[in-house]
A and B are shown apart, each in its own frame.
Chain A
């Protein structure tokens, strides 16, 4: 059997099979075959080349540094492009030997090659960064960063400079955790990166920007430290980087605006807020019309920059970013299909969708632009995209859009969002699941035909299934969605939902390890127990009066406003029920004492809620006037009336209003003693108004930073 030239080349790599010069020749042959050529890379990996290369790199025999260098370059070429190849390398344990090649006393070409290969390996997020932080490696890397000289001439210096760029790039890729950021900073890399930043050599500057960006990302402490350093010129970094944001080279601009974006999000360059708005945003928006990696990355940076900033979202909207993003997303499908091959430009699509999601996160004005850009059908199509990233991003978009007022939300329904959205509830990716449930949270708020049809599809069962799912965000969103589903729903819907969820699970959720989930569960109880006696009975009998009230009693002792708020309104709602319901509360002296205490809570909203409990417990209805009198007497003896008197001069008008009403009940009781007749003032109109306010809330903050939504508080 004759061997192919490739097999011959691999066999010659083994020590003792050929003289060094032959081995180098084989390595060069292999190198020139595999660079740029994925097919050949796969072929050689199958021929078992990696372990032979590792042997060469590991050997201490340094007769000719060329041999090692070429082997390292070949390893590097395998690492370019393909994640599977990178894992083939790391599984063979090449990282350690490569790090050992970095010894500054060694051959500069070998060091450069090793740095390049490591940089390519660390391009994969799946590779462990651990080894780099072990032993002396980090210090060695920092030494390699320290080679910059202003007028480089010799080849040697060019190589060292390039090595420094690669090291900066390695650092940029090894800042995945706060701990890694801190270790790299502590190694003394930052001043050297600053020097590289002002070197005037574009590749070095880009590499330095990349590393600095990675160091400040989500790390306000380091960001603060870096923002307050001085460059060699005495200037602070931000104004210098702002100038680079206007550089001729698009990749330099991208590196600069990325770094500024992270600094801005870390809140350390507030004096440059207007520069961010007037320089960085327009630069990013213009990049949407470039191509390649710049166009691909810009939307992601844009998304990060405007996230949760209403003013930025408005500004970027006014720069016509939405039509540009929409046109990227809308036109991509056509190109893909020329040769029927999908998979190209997935990242661009994903990032563009993320940007749309971020821009339309808060302002209705921006959401309307998204709808007007006619991109909605493409977003809906993207929800079924084979790439999980694209699906998740598309879902983020629908999530943002679903926060809008009913009329825009209708256009989501009209665009056919229901089927793909329901499909995504079975997605394997937790990110997709969490966005999909968040979108559903908002959509089920409406009394829409979709709510009914989703329920018929079995959406409740899905939610219940997710609550059992491991990911806490998904569990949270699922409880949230159920809560919104029963918001202002009729009794039949509530019963259907609870039949599937089960009160046993509800009780467990009310004591979940995740506080956010507990809160949503308590909010669910609040929504369930709202409006009709039948609804109150559902919860009362479902959980059992003892268990229900014990849970409430417990929550009332928490130092958590959201929890207190829900617990109090559960009581408010129960107290609108029957005499039996009210008496059940009255039997719990612990609850009554807590309510009394909360009447003086520092938060006005809690004071109001506590007083509402009193109002509803002292509500007079003709047929059971006797019960009211008894309750008033008990509350008075506890000091409730005195407390109310002390609140007459409360600074908050809403509190004073409630106090007035509650005191009226106590006064009426006085008058009623011997008289008969019902109270002359009814508060139904007022209460209905309060209930509507709660609806407004729920529309606004269905986002990841959880606060109370779907608050359905029916009073009296």
Chain B
């Protein structure tokens, strides 16, 4: 589980390229921390195991991994803060969207809480828009046109901010389904995924739960902290979030901008 990398666990690999002088470095010399120094400093910081477990539970619940949450709860003894059944409900909705079965998702949401789609016109519009996309994907052009006219156009009238999106969706009809087009992104799984997340967030909010897990934010913060440190020090740092190894770069290569490496998976 790569999420554990957020904790200050030490990398197994040791870096022996300790060098205190940086020949040819321009301007202010950065102080260099050796692996040992850094490890000693990290060891001073106490991180509560229970907090780490909570962090992981929080991630599993919000992202909807019900089975994993149950297992994790048994193994770690961390209590789930909510009814695990509510995770199940959200997951049914999510999978329905991912399969392209939008009607089923809508019915489920309305059963869970009929208020959500009545008070969130944007989300409702996106669901109807996805229904339209699915009709177009299946080549049911006449139905798609009829649906757009009956269901989507009135929503655009009520909320003009939706009109641009509606126009974009309708232009799917002008292009070959499998050919290149400026709107082909609407047909990708990512489009369904986006909607599934939006719906998941709305469900979480209606259950007084946070809509974003804490872990990704923490990783971003960690990355930001490293960037700040980079300006002043050379130290063993995490270069690949997925591996969470502490690597001490050769100082000569770390002069100048050190913003290489993207925050993978965050």
Binding site for B on A (CB under 8 A): 28, 31-32, 35-39, 73, 76-77, 80-81, 113, 116, 120, 152-155, 158, 201-204, 248, 338-339, 341, 344
- With A155-B83, A155-B85 known to touch, is A32 a contact of B118 (CB < 8 Å)? no
Nearest CB to that of A341 among chain B residues? B160
For the complex, what is the distance from the CA of A344 to the CA of B155, rounded to whole Å? 13
Flag whether B92 is at the interface (Cβ < 8 A): no
Residues of chain A within 8 A of B150, CB atoms compared: 39
Nearest CB to that of A336 among chain B residues? B160
Asked if residues A339 and B154 are in contact (CB atoms below 8 Å), the reply is: no
Flag whether B165 is at the interface (Cβ < 8 A): no
What is the distance, in angstroms, from B110's C-beta to the closest C-beta of chain A? 5
Interface of B, secondary structure class, is: helix
For the complex, what is the distance from the CA of A113 to the CA of B85, rounded to whole Å? 20
Within the complex, which residue of B120, B159, B210 is in contact with A344, where a contact is CB–CB below 8 Å? B159
B142-197 with Cβ < 8 A to chain A: 150-151, 154-155, 157-161, 163
For the complex, what is the distance from the CA of A344 to the CA of B161, rounded to whole Å? 10
For the complex, what is the distance from the CA of A344 to the CA of B124, rounded to whole Å? 18
Flag whether B206 is at the interface (Cβ < 8 A): yes
- With A154-B83, A344-B159, A344-B160 known to touch, is A81 a contact of B118 (CB < 8 Å)? yes
Within the complex, which residue of A77, A113, A202, A338 is in contact with B160, where a contact is CB–CB below 8 Å? A338
For the complex, what is the distance from the CA of A350 to the CA of B105, rounded to whole Å? 37
Nearest CB to that of B107 among chain A residues? A32
What is the distance, in angstroms, from A253's C-beta to the closest C-beta of chain B? 15
- With A36-B117, A36-B121, A116-B114 known to touch, is A201 a contact of B163 (CB < 8 Å)? no
Nearest CB to that of A41 among chain B residues? B118
What are 9 sample pairs from A and B whose C-beta atoms fall under 8 A apart?
Answer: A32-B103, A35-B114, A37-B155, A76-B118, A116-B114, A120-B115, A153-B83, A155-B85, A203-B207
Asked if residues A339 and B160 are in contact (CB atoms below 8 Å), the reply is: yes
Asked if residues A158 and B118 are in contact (CB atoms below 8 Å), the reply is: no
Binding site for A on B (CB under 8 A): 83, 85-86, 103, 106-107, 110, 114-115, 117-121, 124, 150-151, 154-155, 157-161, 163, 206-208, 210
Nearest CB to that of B114 among chain A residues? A73
What is the distance, in angstroms, from B167's C-beta to the closest C-beta of chain A? 11
What is the distance, in angstroms, from B89's C-beta to the closest C-beta of chain A? 10
Asked if residues B208 and A35 are in contact (CB atoms below 8 Å), the reply is: no
Asked if residues A32 and B119 are in contact (CB atoms below 8 Å), the reply is: no
Residues of chain A within 8 A of B210, CB atoms compared: 248
Within the complex, which residue of A37, A113, A158 is in contact with B151, where a contact is CB–CB below 8 Å? A37
Kindly list 15 other residue pairs between chains A and B, CB separation below 8 angstroms, not including A32-B110, A203-B208: A28-B107, A32-B107, A35-B106, A36-B118, A37-B124, A37-B154, A37-B155, A80-B115, A81-B118, A120-B115, A201-B208, A204-B208, A248-B210, A338-B160, A344-B160
Asked if residues B163 and A80 are in contact (CB atoms below 8 Å), the reply is: no
For the complex, what is the distance from the CA of A154 to the CA of B83, rounded to whole Å? 7
Residues of chain A within 8 A of B118, CB atoms compared: 35-36, 76-77, 80-81
The residue among B86, B158, B163, B208 with the most chain A CB atoms within 10 A of its own CB is B208
What is the distance, in angstroms, from A290's C-beta to the closest C-beta of chain B? 15
For the complex, what is the distance from the CA of A32 to the CA of B158, rounded to whole Å? 19
Nearest CB to that of B156 among chain A residues? A339
Asked if residues A32 and B208 are in contact (CB atoms below 8 Å), the reply is: no
What is the distance, in angstroms, from A320's C-beta to the closest C-beta of chain B? 27
Asked if residues B158 and A38 are in contact (CB atoms below 8 Å), the reply is: yes
Residues of chain B within 8 A of A28, CB atoms compared: 107
Within the complex, which residue of A36, A153, A339 is in contact with B124, where a contact is CB–CB below 8 Å? A36
Asked if residues B114 and A31 are in contact (CB atoms below 8 Å), the reply is: yes
Asked if residues B114 and A158 are in contact (CB atoms below 8 Å), the reply is: no
Residues of chain B within 8 A of A32, CB atoms compared: 103, 106-107, 110
Nearest CB to that of A344 among chain B residues? B160
Nearest CB to that of B83 among chain A residues? A153
Asked if residues A39 and B154 are in contact (CB atoms below 8 Å), the reply is: yes
